[in-house]
Amino acid sequence: MNRNVIVLGSGAHARVERVGEHIVRFPQSVDPDDLNGRLVLDCSTGHITEKDDTLLRRLATDDAQAVDGVRVTKMSYGWLVIFEETEPQDGEDRLSPAFWKLRRFAKDRGFDWVNLDRDGSTIFGLETFDW
């Protein structure tokens, strides 16, 4: 299993610790008990539909408010998706049920954000799309 490396600071005197599945690099001046952070699920863009990709692209470039409680940042090879505490709505211009299953999967496991990456791993049990 790949380990995520989280860098919380730089410098030659940083301390490195294993926190669960993650390897975290702490600058010497930070007390780990005082940190705030977000857990990010890294997975394949194959878990969303092509229509989802189009909507995420629009959200990332619009100055519009979040749609269905979703905020998006364009990454090099996909999307960083930030979820607000709202429920999805029905409609033509909405994200797919597969997208919301991915959101539920992430939330149920304590992840705050999802990084959808074209080279990310697929998750057993979640639908995938070939587009």
Most confident of 11-15, 27-31, 32-36, 87-91: 32-36
The whole-model pTM stands at 0.68
* 59 three-class SS: helix
Which DSSP symbol is given to 126? S
The set of residues, in sequence order, having a beta carbon less than 8 Å from that of 117 and lying 6+ positions away, is 42, 43, 44, 45, 75, 77, 78
pLDDT at 64 over 80: no
Residue whose entry in the numeric block shows the structure tokens 């999307």: 79
* 30 — pLDDT class (breaks 50, 70, 90): low
Q: What is the pLDDT of residue 25?
A: 59
83-119 confidence digits (pLDDT tens): 876 665 555 558 899 999 999 999 898 888 899 999 9
Sign of CA dihedral 58, 60, 65, 69: positive
Residue whose entry in the numeric block shows the structure tokens 């990084």: 115
- For residues 1 and 86, what is the distance between their CA atoms, to the nearest angstrom? 32
